[in-house]
Structure 1
Amino acid sequence: MPLRDHFRPPVEARHSWDELHGMWPGEIVRQLFPILPEGYVAAPRVHLGAAFEIDVSTFRETEPVTQSQPPRDQGGVAVVPWAPPRPTFTLEADLAEPDEYEVRVYDARFERRLVAAIEVVSPSNKDRPESRRAFVAKAEALLRRGVCISMVDVVTIRRFNLYADLLESLDGSDPMVGESPPAIYAVTARGRRPTGGAPLLETWFSPIELGRPLPTLPIWLEDGLAVSLDLEASYEEACRLLRIA
C-alpha cells in the first residue's frame, strides 16, 4: 500500500495524524525485537510537549511583600513564608517542550546504553524556527554521543527539511537533497571514527513520495553491526490496526 497524506482530506477528515504517530513507534518496536541481536532492546517513547501562552492582558500588578529574610520559627510563632525579591530581568520566551515520537534502542549489556534513536517527525518539530533548532540540536547531540539517529518525516504541511538543517549545522550538505530539499523523507545518520582517520558522518537518505512505498533504513547498533528497519511494513501494520484505508 502507498504512503497516505495524513494531514489533508480524505485521510485527515477521518483520522488525526497523531493517531498514526502514536501507534507507529510501537509497531517499529514490534518489528525490531525479532531481529535485534541478543543483549539489545527497543522501546517506544511518546512525549507531548506542554505548550503555553502568556496573556499580557491578564497581567496584574501585585503589592510587593516587604519580607526580605526568611523568618525563624521561635516556638509557637506562626512562620510567614519568605518572599524572594523581584527578578532582575524578565523575558517573554517560548520554553515549551517539543513533541517526541520515537523509538530508542539500547544495549542492555552495558547498563542500557543508548545506541540508536528513530525519530518520527511531528508538525510541531517543523512549525517554527526555534522548534527546528531544538530538533536539530537534539539530533546533533545524539550523534556526538555515538548514537545512530534515523528521521522519518511524513509531515506534508511543512516544507522544512530537518535533515538539511542538521547538515547545515555541521557545515555540510548532501547532493541527494538538492537545492530544494523534499518535505518528506527518511534518513539514517551515524558518526564513525576510522582508525587513524578523521571523524566521519555517514548518512543513508531516501526521499519519500505520496502514493509510493516507504524505504528500508539501516539501524546501526555498533560499528559493523546493523539491522534493517522496514518502514513500509511497520507503517502498513499501524494503518491496518487504526483502520486507515
Structure 2
Amino acid sequence: MPLRDHFRPPVSRQVSWEEIHGGWPMVIVQQLKTQLPPEYVSGPKVHAGPSLGPTPTAAWTAAEPSLAIETEIPDDDEYEVRVYDADRGRTLVAVIELVSPANKDRQEKRNAFVGKCAALLRKGVSVSIVDVVTVRQFNLYAELMAFLGQSDPTLSAEPPATYAASCRWLLGERRALLETWSHTLTVGQPLPTLPLWLAPARVVPLDLERSYEKTCDDLGVR
C-alpha cells in the first residue's frame, strides 16, 4: 500500500497526523521485538508540546536573578523509537526519528532537531529519520549533512520534502566514517526498508512499509 498525505483531505478527515505519529513508534517497537537479537530492546518515546516538571520545594531562598525575561516554553516534538543494548547497561545504540511539522517549522526548531541527531551520531548512535510531512518543504536530512560539513550527491538542488534516511558514524581512533542510506518518499508509493545499525557489524531491517501499513490499518485509514 502507498504512502498517504496525512495533512490534507481525504486522509486528514479520517485521522489526524498526530494519531499516525503517536501510534507508529509503538508498532515499530512491536515489529522490532521479533527482529532484534536477544540482548537488544526498544521502546517508544513520544512527546508533543511543552512539558513542565514539578516545582521543587526548598527551605533555602535564592538571590534575585541577574536576568529575568519572558520566553516561550520549549515545545520540541519527539516521536521516536530508541533501541538499547541491554547487555551493556542499556546503552543507547539506535534512534528512529519520525519528523513532525513542528520540527520543520522555524529555523531554530530545525537547528534543534539537526543538533540532536548530530550529537547522537557523534556518540556512535545510529540515526534513522523518517519524514512524511508534506506541508513543510524543508529536508532535515540534507540540513544534517550540511551541519556535519558533508553533502549527499544523490540529492537534487532542491531536496525532497518527504524522505527517509539512515545514518551512522563509525568512530575510529583518529578518523570516522560517515555512512548514509537515503530514499525519497512519494505519496502513492510504498515506503522503503532502511538498515537499522545496532553495532558496526550488526544490522536489522527497518521495514517502514510494514509498520506504516499496520499503523494505518489500526487507525482505520484506507
TM-score scaled by structure 2? 0.92
Give the letter aligned to residue 186 of structure 1.
Answer: A
Q: Determine the C-alpha separation between the residues in 2 that align with 1:109 and 1:84.
A: 46
SS of residue paired to 1:26: helix
Q: Distance in 1 between matches of 2:170 and 2:66?
A: 46
Rate the CA distance shift 1:82–1:115 in 2: closer, same or farther, 3 A: closer
User: What is the CA-CA distance between 1:88 and the residue it aligns to?
Assistant: 3.1
By how many angstroms is 1:82 displaced? 5.3
Distance 2:73 2:146 in 1: 24
Q: How far does the alpha carbon of each residue in 1:9-44 deviate from its partner, in whole angstroms, 9 at most, with x for none?
A: 111122110000011001111111111112001111
Measured against aligned partners, the alpha-carbon deviations of 1:108-147 in whole angstroms (never above 9, x if no partner) come to: 0011000000000011101111110110110001001100
Moved over 2 A (4+): 81-85, 87-95
Other-structure match for 2:48: 48
Q: Secondary structure at the match of 2:95?
A: strand
Assess, with a 3 A threshold, how the Cα gap between structure 1 residues 162 and 236 changes in structure 2: closer, same or farther. same
Letter in 2 for 1:21: H
Distance in 2, Cα, partners of 1:176 & 1:96: 34
| Cα distance, 1:198 vs structure 2 | 2.5
SS of corresponding position for 1:101: strand
Which residue is 1:192 aligned to? 170
CA distance in 2, matches of 1:13, 1:219: 33
Q: Over aligned residue pairs, what C-alpha RMSD do you find?
A: 1.9
| Matching residue within 104, 117, 131 for 1:153 | 131
SS in 1 for 2:79: strand
Residue number among 183, 186, 189 corresponding to 1:206 in the alignment: 183
Q: In 2, distance between residues paired with 1:91 and 1:110?
A: 43
Match of 2:67 in 1: 89
List gaps (5 residues or longer) in structure 2. 53-58
Q: Residue in 1 aligned with 2:148?
A: 170
Match of 1:210, SS state, is: coil
**What aligned pairs does 1:1-245 form with structure 2 within 5 A after superposition?**
1-50=1-50, 84-85=63-64, 87-193=65-171, 198-245=175-222
Are 2:44 and 2:80, in contact at CA under 8 Å, matched by a contact in 1? yes
Q: Percent identity?
A: 53
The CA distance in 1 between the partners of 2:111 and 2:71, in whole Å, is 15
Q: Is the 8 A contact 2:99 2:131 kept in 1?
A: yes
- Distance verdict in 2 for CA 1:197–1:83, change over 3 Å: closer
Verify the 8 A CA contact 2:124 2:171 in the aligned structure 1.
no
- 1:88 partner amino acid: S
Displacement of 1:197 after TM fit?
Answer: 6.6
Q: Any gaps of 5 or more consecutive residues in structure 1?
A: 53-78
SS of the residue corresponding to residue 215 of structure 2 reads: helix
Q: 1:157 to 1:209 in 2, by over 3 A?
A: same
TM-score, normalised on structure 1? 0.83
Asked whether the 8 Å contact 2:137–2:160 carries over to 1, the reply is yes
| Number of residues of Structure 1 aligned to a counterpart in Structure 2 | 216
Change (3 A) 1:27 1:91: same
Distance in 2 of aligned mates of 1:179 and 1:200: 24
- Letter matched to residue 202 of structure 2: L
- Kindly name which structure, 1 or 2, has the bigger radius of gyration based on alpha carbons: 1
- State the 1:178 CA deviation: 1.6
Q: CA deviation at 1:148?
A: 0.4
